[in-house]
A and B are shown apart, each in its own frame.
Chain A
Amino acid sequence: MILLNEILSKYPKEQEYLIEILLEYQTSKKNHYISSEDVASISKYLGVPESQVCSVISFYSLLSMKPKGKYVIQVCHDVPCFVNDSTSIYDKLVEILEINDGETTKDNLFTLEITECLGRCNEAPAMRVNNLVYVSLTPAKVEKIINDLRGEKK
């Protein structure tokens, strides 16, 4: 809770900062999501109804009220990546993580998502893991990235 208050105190009490606050808080939080308690605190701080905070969260694909894994993997599935075989990247992730789009692994380490263009099309296929974008992927590279991330946990 301290964390949220710290972030809130940096912003003026205006609705125009709602999305900034949500993004900053969600990124810094371990499970990358906004809980109902968080919604209540933010709503109180900004003086914006809770229902409105929830409706904003539900609108933007980067915001979530569902807990996610430590690493949120977003595979770009837009056309330039698609024509460069992003499907094989996604399939590989499904195979090694044993989860599908929108799901989280049992150890709460990974969440798999499909996303729109990451602006790295010239080096397709691309995927994003939290704030880092990996490009020119191959199934083998993906396997290595996942193994490295798994290793990092220890």
Chain B
Amino acid sequence: MLDRMHILICGGAECKESNSVELRDLFKSEIERLNLGDDIQTALTGCFGLCALGPHVLIYPEETLYSGVKLEDVREIVEQHIAKGKPVDRLLFKGEFDRKKFRNRSELTFFAKQTRIALRNCGVINPLDVNEYIARHGYEALGKVLTTMTPEETVQVMLDSGLRGRGGGGFPTGRKWQFCANSVSDKKYVICNADEGDPGAFMDRAVLEGDPHSVLEAMTINGYAIGADTGYIYIRAEYPLAVQRLELAIGEARELGMLGKNIFDSGFDFNIELRLGAGAFVCGEETALIASIEGERGMPRNKPPYPAVKGLFGKPTNVNNVETYANIPVVYLKGADWFKSIGTEKSSGTKVFALGGKIANTGLLEVPMGTTLREVIYEIGGGIPNKREFKAAQTGGPSGGCITAESLDTPIDFDNLIALGSMMGSGGMIVMDEDNCMVDVARFYLEFTVEESCGKCTPCREGTKRMLDILNRICEGEGTMEDLDVLESLGKMIKDSSLCGLGQTAPNPVLSTLKHFRKEYEAHVIDKVCPAGVCSNLTKYVVLDNCIGCTKCARNCPVGAIEGKVKEKHFIDLDLCIRCGACKTACPVNAISTKPESWGAM
């Protein structure tokens, strides 16, 4: 790793689509053309986590970060920066936060507030080369565990670390391992859950694409701790790049003897196989996942017995999530105390969030547990674009709920999110502004559940359908006040009586928006208005007093519903209006609004 210069090109799926392979090849050929020597390495790495501004190129040792690099820029970078050591100003990454250009990756607000444990290698190493993983202490933890620790000690470290599952539930990983280690059986299994189905979450994909060996190493440690010799990674078929990199990594690990027989001469054998998911969200649930690996329909079953007692092929099985695994090698290298010192008392370590929706910096970020939502959204995320107001952040996907402006300063951890009526989920965080209708958002998540319910239990199958019917009526303008009460009681009933986590959490988005945004529901029901201007039946476009009479709106209206003289305030005939929004888009002074509070006295 003592190459004079290292040029890392982001090869995460986003950047790959924008030519990262061609970029790398061009860098190579330009370096050859200028005879700059063999001590300059070029490599594709995993996702840098700032995908919207890609493709990125990171040059070591100075850590210069270029963004939005195009093929035609390569020659300039090589001639100026690589040959003469002068960074190309024009292409330096521009922080969204203030318009200053950042030369150095760790200077960025986006990175400065973060603590990268699970993502430690993503964007730093070439995931296609195991030697780069090893150069960053890869497989050292496995060596330490296999050669100096007993399985009991291995489980104890996990217990001491306080690591909780990152797949949604936040169950203590050590307790799970201990449970499974105590089950007596001739055969046990380890499963990595890479079914990542929560809308808005893609951290598991980033880890698998950017640092596949960390998951393999952790699964092997897991196998040793509980006494299993076989591991499965259950991964969505929708992630072809991650599948390909995992296959490659498994091959490399086998060649090096990090998988296979007698690993580190310890007498311990372990192998890992991949299994593809075929597009059923419920298969992320561990018992459904197990059924799917067995080649069955992915239906969840009642627990207990827990997988730790009776799992895959009826044998004790430990299931953990990708991000959970990505943390584990570091826990063994740096110790449980170190890990526990990060985060909050009951939630140690960090959490990766996928920030999306109405936010300036979309992408992946990893922060210590206990960071506030305000820090995430305003400091790392760069705030809400277009001078809009923050309205809510949805966490936990279709199982979660929304967090409102009032709670911006609550430290984020597993328990606080549950107290707020949401949950951590897998870490998708979708930011909404005043233009998002919360009734519509709730309806959207419920549509998801209705679609993905496996149909085995009645409350989930029929109950969610009933709730969706009601929400559809409300959005159409036909809701009543009783509907709101029915939604509430039905939601509670489904939560209490469903078989698996899917149904038990499905009503959350509705209940949580009902709690925090009841006024918005009431506006739909009583005033027949959608204040955000989303539900088309209930959207009213009104011209405000700051209209300058430029006639643009009238000229853009496809149905001639707008009248008014030049330089005078215009009017919209709501009977003719087809609610296409063309006027609002055309208005140069923002004088057309769907928001009742802006209409003033009418």
- Indicate whether B394 reaches chain A with its CB closer than 8 angstroms: yes
- Indicate whether B205 reaches chain A with its CB closer than 8 angstroms: yes
Q: Are B276 and A78 in contact (CB under 8 A)?
A: no
Residue interface bits A74-103, CB-to-B below 8 A is 1, else 0:
000011101100000000000000000000
Question: Which residues of chain B have C-beta atoms less than 8 A from A56's C-beta?
Answer: 295-297
Q: Are B357 and A19 in contact (CB under 8 A)?
A: no
Q: Are A60 and B428 in contact (CB under 8 A)?
A: no
- Indicate whether A4 reaches chain B with its CB closer than 8 angstroms: no
Q: How far is the CA of A118 from the CA of B198 in the complex (A)?
A: 10
- Indicate whether B430 reaches chain A with its CB closer than 8 angstroms: yes
Given contacts A19-B295, A59-B280, A80-B430, contact A119 B239 (CB under 8 A): yes
Question: Which residues of chain A have C-beta atoms less than 8 A from B547's C-beta?
Answer: none
Q: Are A61 and B280 in contact (CB under 8 A)?
A: yes
- Indicate whether B197 reaches chain A with its CB closer than 8 angstroms: yes
Partner of B13, one of A19, A20, A80, A133: A133
Closest to A48 in B: B295
Given contacts A61-B278, A79-B430, contact A120 B199 (CB under 8 A): no
Partner of B199, one of A18, A78, A134: A78
Question: Which residues of chain B have C-beta atoms less than 8 A from A59's C-beta?
Answer: 280, 297-298, 454
- Indicate whether B51 reaches chain A with its CB closer than 8 angstroms: yes
Question: Which residues of chain A have C-beta atoms less than 8 A from B293's C-beta?
Answer: 16
Q: Are A23 and B297 in contact (CB under 8 A)?
A: no
A67 to chain B: closest CB distance in Å?
18
Q: How far is the CA of A18 from the CA of B280 in the complex (A)?
A: 15
Q: Are B237 and A120 in contact (CB under 8 A)?
A: no
Residue interface bits B216-239, CB-to-A below 8 A is 1, else 0:
000000000000000000001111
Q: Are B294 and A60 in contact (CB under 8 A)?
A: no
- Indicate whether B56 reaches chain A with its CB closer than 8 angstroms: no
Q: How large is the interface on B (under 10, 10 to 19, 20 to 34, 35 or more residues)?
A: 35 or more
Partner of A80, one of B200, B278, B279: B200
Partner of B295, one of A17, A115, A116: A17
Q: Are B295 and A122 in contact (CB under 8 A)?
A: no
Q: How far is the CA of A61 from the CA of B197 in the complex (A)?
A: 13
Question: Which residues of chain B have C-beta atoms less than 8 A from A16's C-beta?
Answer: 275, 293-295
B30 to chain A: closest CB distance in Å?
27
Question: Which residues of chain B have C-beta atoms less than 8 A from A108's C-beta?
Answer: none
- Indicate whether A121 reaches chain B with its CB closer than 8 angstroms: yes
A148 to chain B: closest CB distance in Å?
14
Q: Are A119 and B14 in contact (CB under 8 A)?
A: no
Closest to B534 in A: A83
Q: Are B202 and A116 in contact (CB under 8 A)?
A: no
Q: How far is the CA of A59 from the CA of B299 in the complex (A)?
A: 9
Question: Which residues of chain A have C-beta atoms less than 8 A from B430's C-beta?
Answer: 79-80, 83
Question: Which residues of chain B have C-beta atoms less than 8 A from A133's C-beta?
Answer: 13, 17, 238
- Indicate whether B164 reaches chain A with its CB closer than 8 angstroms: no
B513 to chain A: closest CB distance in Å?
13
Q: Are A123 and B51 in contact (CB under 8 A)?
A: yes
- Indicate whether B354 reaches chain A with its CB closer than 8 angstroms: yes
Q: How far is the CA of A148 from the CA of B239 in the complex (A)?
A: 24
Q: How far is the CA of A32 from the CA of B276 in the complex (A)?
A: 17
Q: Which A positions have Cβ atoms within 8 angstroms of B?
A: 14-20, 22-23, 48, 55-56, 59-63, 78-80, 82-83, 115-124, 128, 131, 133-135
Q: A122-B364, A133-B17 are in contact. List 11 more A-B contacts (CB 8 A).
A: A16-B294, A60-B298, A62-B237, A80-B200, A83-B432, A83-B436, A115-B279, A119-B205, A119-B238, A120-B202, A121-B362
- 28 A–B contacts, CB within 8 A, in A order: A15-B294, A15-B296, A19-B275, A23-B278, A48-B295, A55-B297, A59-B297, A62-B237, A78-B199, A78-B448, A79-B357, A79-B444, A80-B199, A116-B197, A116-B452, A117-B199, A119-B202, A119-B205, A119-B236, A120-B202, A121-B199, A121-B202, A121-B362, A122-B52, A122-B364, A124-B356, A128-B238, A134-B17
The 7 closest A-B pairs by CB, nearest first: A62-B279, A60-B278, A78-B199, A18-B295, A15-B295, A61-B279, A117-B199
